Amino acid sequence: MTINLKITNPKVEFLPRRELEKLQLKKLRYMLNLAYHTSPYYHRVFKKHGLKPSDIQGFKDLTKIPITKREELMNSPKDFILQPRKEQLTKILPKKKLISLLVKKAVNKKKAEVEVLKEFYPVRVTFTSGRSGNPVPVFYTHYDLDLFSDIAGRGAIISGSKTGMVGLNLFPRVIDHLAGFQAVFAFQSIFAIPVSISMMTERSIRAAEALEVQGIAGIPSYIMYWFRRALEMGVKLPKIQVLFVAGERVSKGWREKLMKYAEELGAEDLKIREGYGLTEAKHAMLECELDSGFHTFPDIAIWEVVDEKTFEPVGEGERGAILFTHIDYRGTIFLRYLTGDIAEGGITHEKCPYCGRTVPRIHRPIGRMMDYLRELHITKVKGTTVNLNAITDVIEENGNVKDYQIVIAKEDPSDPYSRDVLIVRIECHSQDEYEKTAREIVEAVRSVSEVTPIVKHVEGLSEMFVSDIKAHRVVDERPVEA
């Protein structure tokens, strides 16, 4: 069966750079006008800075718009919703749309009203995952849901899904969490059959077997657990072709383990494609190939990579903090929102060498800004700078490690001035080889960090991660310095 869908090959993803930027600017100007008039938050910001939408004419003027930080969203999430009053519609709607609405209104008043409501009235919400503080709502209107469906389908195609594929979603919380929400929309938008049986591992394995699933979306550590359970149950899943993973960094070691398990399940040539997104952006982006970079959707957002201290743009492919500005979407929208993430490989604008798309691409690895969320990748242990990504890499490369967790703590928890300790909790495949594995991990961690870890064996460690939407693989138990 061949289905020729508009979403499979949208023109916008292949436009020459100049045309693409022209389109983005047009949409940006419209969005700025909307935000200025109808977003309580941005109306205040523009007024406070004496800024008018017309002050932003080109990409270089983007820096005039102040950065939006997460705290501001947490303080007043509803102020980020576009909420036009009736009398404002003539000011904010494009002329063509306004005339069509007026004509409709003359014929059927109710119908015209419903059309406006569909564009602006929030009907769906997703929540930030609450890594820091309380979950924060981000709202979608009917207009957004149509757009989201299109974007999700396009992402699926970019990352190697095919129409007719049977896709299994293993992200939890399909209704109110971005990853699961997008995975299900992605599969259904390309006429794939979405299956979603969150968190009931054995049942989802049996369903996957019966339906002969081809694509699986989920958090890497959960897919790893799920694969192991499937092997223990003696299930074969030979048709799996592609994994769509997000929510955790996938190291080389982790990738190889996933491939090995897939092979044992009977699947050959498994592709693993990572996604990057955040609830606030209202979408995730995908890679077309390993290391192709995350393909942005230029018709709904402008992505920037900037210096993390000065917020000035950095050069092509240079490391920096990731920002985005919505240029389409209604409901909750953001201008120059600071994601708190760092793109080590920056952003590039040349044509993708793999798929030929001309969209800007954001390059891995993705880290976190230290002073932003105090999430850990580079930290100090015993006064020595330690790269936790390097440590997780060497642990994941160890073949006997079934699962692990890194804990940074104080030698004496009641004394904040006692020495730091780095504890590596592990669960092993082969319990008999635990002593040997522990020694190997001590050596490997020392070789990349100059810190000698304490290795502890924890039975059932992998189960602990299953119940949590974002497994806390690295935990800092040290008191926060004032």
What angle (nearest 5°) sits at the alpha carbon of residue 270, between those of residues 288 and 261? 140
User: Would you say 281 or 285 has its CB closer to Zn ion?
Assistant: 285
Residue 351 Cβ, how far from Zn ion at the closest point, in Å? 9
CB of 353 to Zn ion, least distance (A): 8
CA dist 189 and 193 (Å) reads 9
Q: Between 138 and 157, whose beta carbon lies closer to Zn ion?
A: 157
Number of other residues whose CB lies within 10 A of the CB of residue 378: 13
How are beta strands 474-476 and 283-286 bridged, if at all? unpaired
**Closest to Zn ion by CB, 343 or 355:** 355
CB of 208 to Zn ion, least distance (A): 28
User: Three-state DSSP class for 113?
Assistant: helix
- Of 53 and 215, nearer to Zn ion (C-beta) is 215
The beta-carbon contacts of 112-120 under 8 Å, at least 24 apart in sequence, are 116/89, 117/142, 118/142, 118/143, 119/143, 119/330, 120/82, 120/83, 120/84, 120/330, 120/331
Q: Are 242 and 215 in contact (CB under 8 A)?
A: yes
Least Å distance between CB 148 and Zn ion?
21
What's the min distance (Å) between Cβ of 286 and Zn ion?
A: 9
- Helix ranges (H only) for 108-251 are 109-120, 142-158, 178-189, 201-211, 220-232
CB of 297 to Zn ion, least distance (A): 13
Residue pair 454/425 in contact by the 8 Å Cβ criterion: no
Nearer to Zn ion, 234 or 353 (CB): 353
Q: Tell the smallest beta-carbon distance from residue 302 to Zn ion (Å).
A: 19
CB of 362 to Zn ion, least distance (A): 12
Is the alpha carbon torsion for 32, 34, 37, 41 positive or negative? negative
Q: Determine contact, residues 29/55, Cβ cutoff 8 Å.
A: no
CB of 20 to Zn ion, least distance (A): 15
Nearest approach, Cβ of residue 347 and Zn ion (Å): 14
Rounded to whole angstroms, the maximal C-alpha distance in the chain is 81
The DSSP code for 46 is H
Minimum CB distance to Zn ion smaller for 298 or for 331: 298
Residue 303 near residue 322 (C-beta atoms within 8 A)? yes
Contacting residues for 146 by C-beta, under 8 A, at least 6 apart: none
Looking only at the bridges linking them, the beta strands covering 193-196 and 166-169 are parallel
State the nearest-atom distance from the C-beta of 293 to Zn ion, in Å: 8
Rounded Cα distance, 275 and 296, in Å: 11
- Cβ–Cβ < 8 Å for 211, 217: no
Alpha-carbon dihedral angle through residues 88, 93, 95, 97, given to the nearest 10 degrees: -120
**In the bound complex, what is the minimum distance in angstroms from residue 361's beta carbon to Zn ion?**
7
In the complex with Zn ion, the residue whose CB is nearer, 352 or 408, is 352
Residue 414's alpha-carbon distances to 245, 379, 409, 477, in angstroms, are: 39, 21, 11, 11
Peptide bond between residue 53 and the one before it cis (omega within 30 degrees of 0): no
Residue whose structure tokens are 């939890």 = 172
Q: Interface residues with Zn ion (CB under 5 A)?
A: 288, 292, 352, 354-355
CB of 317 to Zn ion, least distance (A): 16
C-beta of 348 vs 389, nearer to Zn ion: 348
Here the contacts of 321-325 (C-beta below 8 Å, separation 24 or greater) are 321/369, 322/362, 322/366, 323/67, 324/281, 325/28, 325/31, 325/62, 325/65, 325/301
Copy the structure tokens of residue 62: 């983007």
